[in-house]
Amino acid sequence: MNDLAAVSAREDKPEAFDAERVRRDFPILQQQVNGQPLVYLDNAATTQKPECVIEAISDYYRHDNSNVHRGAHTLADRATAAFEGARRKVADFIHAASPEQVIWTRGTTEAINLVASSWGHSELRPGDRILVSAMEHHSNIVPWQIVASHTGARVEAIPVDSSGTLDIQAFEAMLDGKVRMVAIGHVSNALGTVNPVVEIVRMAHAVGARVLVDGAQAVGHWQVDVQSLDCDFYVFSSHKMFGPTGIGVLYGRRELLDAMPPYQGGGEMIESVSFAGTTFNKLPYKFEAGTPDIAGVIGLGAAVDYLKHLDRAGAARHEQALLEYAQKKAQAVPGLRVIGTSGHKVSVLSFVLEGGHPADLGMLLDQQGVAVRTGNHCAQPIMDQFGIPGTVRASFSFYNTFDDVDRLFAALEKARQFLV
Ligand code: PLP
């Protein structure tokens, strides 16, 4: 077999992803909860952190802790180098054209608020329309409602069908010259639906609208390329991609970020300050007032390094296999209804069980060492559409195993007996 044939043979039959080996990188998974080995299926809420991320944060505090950009000493230089190095890593990771287009925020929520407030206040006029999907997380609805109330713009919901799929025809019919912003989740945290972002961007741009993509639930599952998506803004949280909490990213098209006014005032975001008038710093610092979460940024950089060395295509196939296995098992449970059955889904099994309130089920599963999320998942409008107060949500990551899925359904069976 020549080299090329060997490669294509390997691609035809990809080696199985070794979740058991990868799990060993995550110290938190090696514990018992309520007397049982932990089964962590709450990855859509937050992912666990590999040893290298924990080490990077601890190393920073042990050896390099200092404020960034301002110091005239070695520790400040080291901290600044690590901090700006992480920005370059993240820019490279999402294929941004330049690191200056990567703005640090506290997370997805703050990134959306930044755009809604800064871009929205300067761009929106009475009668303008902002479209969000009916399955958005509250953090991609409420900031737009707030800016709409100040500017006279309107927030409208793009319909979602009974399988949890975005109605693309309805979206097309809604588009006109008054639509200024389409704010859309790449993946729904409540249903797992993957939205056709490339198509949405193309359609929105055709009427002159801007597109913000909420990538909170995407970046942990596959490689995102902001330039090929051609979106105007892309936002995500470090803690949903194996990095620390308290740090996230706003990526934006350079000309839009350049034109946007500052979001918050303070140190770092200025060029010069006087009572006669203040001038603002260049990108990305214009949007980074105050001392940033330096350790968080360095931890996020380490998470990016970790993901770069992971077989991401294999991880994605493994997660998909887990989801399909779980969905099959769900079909066999009497009284179980899956919420979100779109043909294009990732990682999330959301369900309700006849006779069991999601919160009670969550507690009964926890008693057996199985961690899931229950409630409306900060997506009340889509829960209302399904006529339910909330669901039980099991969400998978690449370190989950088929055994974890079996444990979930065994625990559910026990919980069911308890309920009747
Ligand atoms: N958007 C989506 C789709 C989410 O799943 C979440 C968190 O669950 C958020 C936004 C908010 O993220 P954060 O709380 O990290 O700001």
Q: How far apart are CA 119 and CA 130, in angstroms?
A: 12
CA of 298 to the centre of ligand 1 (A): 21
The pLDDT of 174-179, averaged and rounded, is 98
Q: Taking 50 as the threshold, does the pLDDT of residue 7 lie above it?
A: no
CA of 189 to the centre of ligand 1 (A): 8
pLDDT at 15: 62
Tens digit of pLDDT for each residue in 409-419?
A: 999 999 998 88
Model confidence, pTM: 0.96
The pLDDT of 106-134, averaged and rounded, is 98
Check if 378 is active-site: yes
Q: Report residue 304: phi and psi, to 5°.
A: -60, -45
The pLDDT of 346-368, averaged and rounded, is 97
In sequence order, what are the residues at sequence separation of 6 or more whose Cβ sits closer than 8 angstroms to the Cβ of residue 302? 52, 53, 55, 56, 57, 243
Q: Taking 90 as the threshold, does the pLDDT of residue 20 lie above it?
A: yes
In sequence order, what are the residues at sequence separation of 6 or more whose Cβ sits closer than 8 angstroms to the Cβ of residue 121? 147, 150, 151, 261
CA of 419 to the centre of ligand 1 (A): 32
In the DSSP assignment, the letter for residue 292 is -
| C-beta 120 within 6 A of ligand 1 | no
Torsion-angle region of residue 340: left (phi > 0), alpha (psi -120 to 50) or beta?
left
Atom of ligand 1 nearest to the CA of 214: 1
Tens digit of pLDDT for each residue in 317-326?
A: 999 999 999 9
Tens digit of pLDDT for each residue in 233-257?
A: 999 999 999 999 999 999 999 999 9
DSSP β-ladder status, 39-40 and 36-37 = unpaired
The pLDDT of 330-342, averaged and rounded, is 97
| C-beta 189 within 6 A of ligand 1 | yes
Task: Tell me the helix, strand and coil percentages in the chain, rounded to 5.
Answer: 45, 20, 35
- Average pLDDT of the chain is 95
List the catalytic residue out of 378, 388, 389, 414: 378
| C-beta 107 within 6 A of ligand 1 | yes
The tokens for 8 are 């294509």
**pLDDT tier for residue 341 given thresholds of 50, 70 and 90:** very high
CA of 137 to the centre of ligand 1 (A): 7
Taking the CA atoms of residue 375, residue 338, residue 313 and residue 108 in that order, the dihedral angle to the nearest 10 degrees is: -30
Q: How far apart are CA 40 and CA 18, in angstroms?
A: 17
| Other Cβ atoms within 10 Å of 177 Cβ, number | 10
Tens digit of pLDDT for each residue in 191-229?
A: 999 999 999 999 999 999 999 999 999 999 999 999 999
**pLDDT tier for residue 1 given thresholds of 50, 70 and 90:** very low
Q: Taking 70 as the threshold, does the pLDDT of residue 74 lie above it?
A: yes
Whole-number percent of the chain with pLDDT over 70 = 96
The pLDDT of 153-172, averaged and rounded, is 98
H/E stretch holding 6 reads helix 3-12
| Other Cβ atoms within 10 Å of 169 Cβ, number | 9
Query: How many angstroms from the chain centroid is the CA of residue 143?
Result: 17
pLDDT at 418: 83
- 3-state SS assignment for residue 71: coil
